[in-house]
Amino acid sequence: MKADSDMPRLSPSMRHQEALANLKGEQVAARVTQENAEKDEWVIVKVIHFDRETKVIEVLDEEPGDDEEGGGQRKYKLPMSHIIPFPKRSDSTSAQDFGLGKQVLALYPGTTALYRATVAQQRKRKIDDYVLEFDDDEEEDGSLPQRLVPFHRVVGLPEGHKQ
């Protein structure tokens, strides 16, 4: 067996490419808006193909919103920077642990859209759901309702996120 120092080391971007290549058929978070858009729109999509040459990921939005023309499934070709893999439901150790007050990007319950939220309650175990308060989700009295979101539908808030 080779020593660690003899093993070829992959750069972080190469490791990221390898991870993306292995996501075919998996659901991921994807930013489906252009770089210059006023707001970022993140949705759950399924990875169809990763082109190693162009570093473009083809994804399928299986449940586009009601406002989509045509109403059918929609495909996108996105750069790697627009994709965030979700933690595996079956492997809670793959999930990041976000502390109280941490800003995250999470699936809004009952939708396929992800929005910025704040962790409102510390999880006791890795398999527990997160208790989150979503931005712009005020009740009539101005309070933010606390919503349960499965740990495998919560990811770190991307740098420069616009909402």
Structure tokens at 65: 């919103």
The vertex-135 CA angle with 132 and 137, nearest 5°, equals 85
Q: What is the CATH number of domain 92-156?
A: 2.30.30.140
Length of the chain: 163
Rounded Cα gap, residues 93 and 101, in angstroms: 21
Residue 3 has pLDDT above 70, yes or no: no
Domain ranges in the chain with CATH number 2.30.30.100: 10-85
Q: For residue range 25-81, what is the model confidence (pLDDT) as tens digits? A: 999 999 998 777 788 899 999 999 988 889 899 999 988 665 555 567 899 999 988
For residue 21, what is the enclosing H or E element?
A: helix 12-21
pLDDT of residue 113: 94
The DSSP 8-state label assigned to residue 3 in this structure reads -
The CATH class that applies to domain 10-85 reads mainly beta
pLDDT of residue 36: 77
* Those residues with Cβ within 8 angstroms of residue 99's Cβ, 6 or more apart along the chain or in another chain: 119, 122
**Are 97 and 63 in contact, with CB atoms under 8 Å apart?**
no
Tell which residue, 110, 133, 109, 107, has the closest CA to residue 121: 133
For residue 24, what is the enclosing H or E element?
A: none
